[in-house]
Amino acid sequence: MTEPILKLEGLKKYFESTSGGIFNKKKGIVKAVDGIDLEIMPGETVGLVGESGCGKTTVGRTVLKLYEPTEGTITFNGQDITHLSAHEMKPLRAQMQMIFQDPYASLNPRHTVGTLIGATFEIQGITPEGGVKHEVERLMERVGLNPEHVNRYPHEFSGGQRQRIGVARAIALKPKLIVADEPVSALDVSIQAQVVNLLDDLQEEFNLSYLFVAHDLSVVQHISDRVVVMYLGKIMEDANKHDLFRAPRHPYTKALLSAVPVPDPKKSRTREKIILQGDLPSPMNPPAGCVFNTRCWKVQEQCRVEVPPLIQIGNGHRLACHFPEPA
Amino acid sequence: MSQPFLEVKNLTVSFPTEDGLVRASNDISFTVARGETLAVVGESGSGKSVTSLAVMGLHDRRSAQISGQAILHLENGPIDTISAPVDVVRKLRGKSMAMIFQDPMSALHPYYTIGDQISEAWRLYNDGDKKAGIKRATEMLDLVGIPGAAKRVLEYPHQFSGGMRQRVMIAMALVNNPSLLIADEPTTALDVTVQSQILELLKNMQKEFNMAVILITHDLGVVAEVADRVSVMYAGKIVEQAGIDDIYYQPDHPYTIGLLNSIPRVDQLEGRRLIAIPGQPPSLISLPAGCSFRSRCSFASQVPNNLCASAVPDLDEKIGGHFSRCHLTEEQLKKARVSTGAQL
């Protein structure tokens, strides 16, 4: 049995919310991530989905230690990295990289593409075979950019091309894990497919693991091996994509999937939709019992008092619900 | 087919810039009838928003060069919103035609209560006092499904969630019972669960008020759910226009085919590789000669005499009500569809 590349145990990340102003009074604690257990195997793509505010982005950032975890452990490639300092993390950063959502905000406008991609080598003190310049050009070519544009600045590129620069930078050091936070949601439909295909190809080439954070279930379904559904900082369901998309067991997963519009008019006329009422409750004051109970259409008294544990129901399928849908 | 409510004829909007003339929307013609939803689909920069802003008369006439017509068939006769005087068009806005924008936070004023903002347009056309306005606003909030309307009408935009704000926008647009509603990416900023609430609401409101609706979006899933007819735009032009089923099951333009092939679908689990459209849209300042889509089109080589590079194809009616702007014949197209390995 191979070891997981990433293992999260009881991961929590709380943020203190303050009122701002001169007194800066404490208003409460936002439980953005509230006890997550998750494993990612080498070469596996795990999709992390949920509505805005469910904590999916916070998970991605805490995994890379961009946020200090409040509780729990993060094990990367067999090593406990939970309490490593920024300095101790540095050599590990070569193996874990991130692709950001906004290709406009994530590239320094004052640097050329060559500098932006080359910086990864400089920071890690690595000289790639054939020199930095040669390697940068090779990477540009690999992600579908013209290597002649190495001296251009980010503003000279379109959104899709900028995202390719972000991808080139992430794969430069041949990492084992890439956290991709909404990597295609800022792109136009016809460009999205180009970047999704690129991510697919790179995974095969480098045996990469992806933690793919996104709200677009169609894209997640396409790219993932396994999909984890989050709601208010907790995992509701986790299964391989076939099980999850064919027979979702958690009412929330079912509602979420039924809400995704299908580009097929005949199907969407006949498809049964579950329309959830209301919005996500505030993560500062989550409901007692099951966090989903305020919007669930199957809610019973038990759900309002007792938190359903996340349990294995076979075939690697995990579920946190007192009254799951039939298989 | 019923009499159209809005008739757009040869609408062209260009903006002079230092680098040259940007022809943002180019020779656009379409109609929408009451009770009908027309979806306008395209990527950023394809001209879908520019077109609808022109219909609403919202371009600054000093900086935008607009030609063509956008005729509203009102009860007391037709009015062309392009050529009519500015103050005439102003009196149609918010009354006969209304618009919903993508980002409800920036479209609402943070300093005024929701009630004031909803009733503003109503009080303009009905001489009611402030109290009557708030009463009307409460009715509207109730109608768009905001619980506790009487209390919430006195609250400010920041006290509402994204989905609730979009409901407020809808209430605001519908307060004078308009005949035409233009919704510009109304659900793009929302989560899927909230998106389906808002789409449902829009459908119900359309029935209730018998409105003509123009839905501007890039999401082909949303289109499939609500539209009756679809206009696909590319680089400022309509490239294909047809009934909803024709667009999805018999697409005629290579761009439409490309779009449908490039989107992942939640209802297709077997990992088919996405067929991406190569390249990117051309700059609107220096459009290539001939067909604007030519450089990204995988079928252009099948058209004899390099016609795609020299002549701009016309928007021809292929079969009843199905228009496409392409040089390929139906026969060539059938072959082409199969050769891409498409599922269509």
In order, the DSSP letters of A24-52 are --EEEEEEEEEEEEEEE-TT-EEEEE--T
3-class DSSP assignment, residue B279: coil
User: What is the Cβ-side half-sphere exposure of residue B30, based on CA atoms within 13 angstroms?
Assistant: 32
Residues of B in contact with A273 (CB under 8 A): 196
Mutate to test the interface with B, among A54, A190, A266 (most CBs of B within 10 A): A190
pLDDT in tens, chain A (327 residues): 689 999 999 999 999 877 666 666 777 889 999 999 999 999 999 999 998 889 999 999 999 999 999 999 999 999 999 999 999 999 999 999 999 988 888 899 999 999 999 999 999 998 898 899 999 999 999 999 999 999 999 998 988 899 999 999 999 999 999 999 999 988 888 888 999 999 999 999 999 999 999 988 999 999 999 999 999 999 999 999 999 999 999 999 999 999 999 999 998 888 888 888 877 888 888 899 999 999 999 999 999 999 999 999 988 999 999 999 998
* Spatial CB neighbours of B121, under 8 Å, sequence gap ≥ 6: B94, B95, B172, B175, B176
pLDDT at B234: 95
* Residue whose C-alpha is closest to residue B28's, from B59, B79, B66: B66
How far apart are the C-alpha atoms of A290 and A234, rounded to whole Å? 10
Token look-up 């300093």 returns B111
Rounded to a whole number of angstroms, the distance between the first and last alpha carbons of chain A is 28
A152 vs B: CB within 8 A? no
- Contact A273/B196, CB-based, under 8 Å? yes
Contacts of B293 (CB under 8 A, 6+ apart): B234, B235, B239, B253, B254, B255
* Residue type present at position B129: D
What residues in A contact B219, CB-CB < 8 Å? 189, 261
Residue B32 C-beta-side C-alpha neighbours within 13 Å: 29
A207 token code pair: 């045996």
| B340 burial type by CB count under 10 A (0-12 exposed, 13-18 middle, 19+ buried) | middle
Q: How far apart are CA B288 and CA B111, in angstroms?
A: 47
Q: Name which of B192, B266, B276 is nearest A245 (Cβ-Cβ).
A: B266
CA dihedral A210, A213, A216, A222 (to 10 degrees): 10
Which residue in B165, B167, B193, B298 has the most chain A C-beta atoms within 10 A of its own C-beta, making it the best mutation to test that interface?
B193
The amino acid present at B143, given as its one-letter code, is L
Q: Which of A272, A265, A246 is nearest to A325 (CA)?
A: A246
Question: A262 vs B262: CB contact, 8 Å cut-off?
Answer: no
Amino acid present at B158: H
- In the block, tokens 């999805």 appear at B248
* Size of the A and B interface in Cβ pairs below 8 Å: 133
Residues of chain A positioned with their CB less than 8 A from the CB of B199: 261
Task: Name residue, tokens 């209390």.
Answer: B151
Pick the residue of B164, B190, B225, B268 with the most A CBs within 10 A to test the interface with A by mutation: B225
Closest to A189 (Cβ–Cβ): which among B161, B191, B259? Answer: B259
* Structure token pair of residue B266: 């939640």
A74 contacts: CB under 8 Å, gap ≥ 6 = A6, A7, A8, A11, A62, A63, A65, A80, A81, A82
Residues of chain B falling short of pLDDT 50 = 1, 341-344
Cβ distance A263 to B244 less than 8 Å, yes or no, reads no
Contact (CB<8Å) A193/B276: yes
- The per-residue pLDDT for A97 is 95
Please count the residues of chain A: 327
Nearest-CA residue of chain A relative to B146?
Answer: A278
Do residues A112 and A165 make contact, with C-beta atoms less than 8 angstroms apart?
Answer: no
Contact A261 B163 (CB under 8 A): no
The pLDDT of residue B340? 53
- HEC per residue, A88-116: HHHHHHCCEEEECCCCCCCCCCCCCHHHH
Question: CB B218 to CB A188 under 8 A?
Answer: yes
Q: What is the full DSSP assignment across A130-162?
A: T-HHHHHHHHHHHTT--GGGGG--GGGS-HHHH
Q: Can you give the pLDDT at residue A314?
A: 87
User: How does strand B212-217 pair with strand B180-184?
Assistant: parallel
Of B197, B262, B278, the CB nearest to A275: B197
B265/A242 touch (CB, cutoff 8 Å), yes or no: no
Chain A positions in Cβ-Cβ contact with residue B243 (cut-off 8 Å): none
Question: Rounded CA gap, A316 and A41, in Å?
Answer: 13
Q: Does A270 touch chain B (CB under 8 A)?
A: no
Establish if A263 touches chain B: CB-CB under 8 angstroms.
Answer: yes
Strands laid side by side in the B237-243 sheet: B97-100, B180-184, B212-217, B37-41, B229-234, B237-243, B322-324, B316-319
User: pLDDT value at position A119?
Assistant: 93
Q: Is there a contact between A51 and B192 if contact means CB atoms under 8 Å apart? A: yes
Res B2: pLDDT:
67
Query: Taking CB atoms and an 8 Å cutoff, what residues of chain B touch A242?
Result: 269
Minimal Cβ distance to A275: which of B196, B220, B269: B196
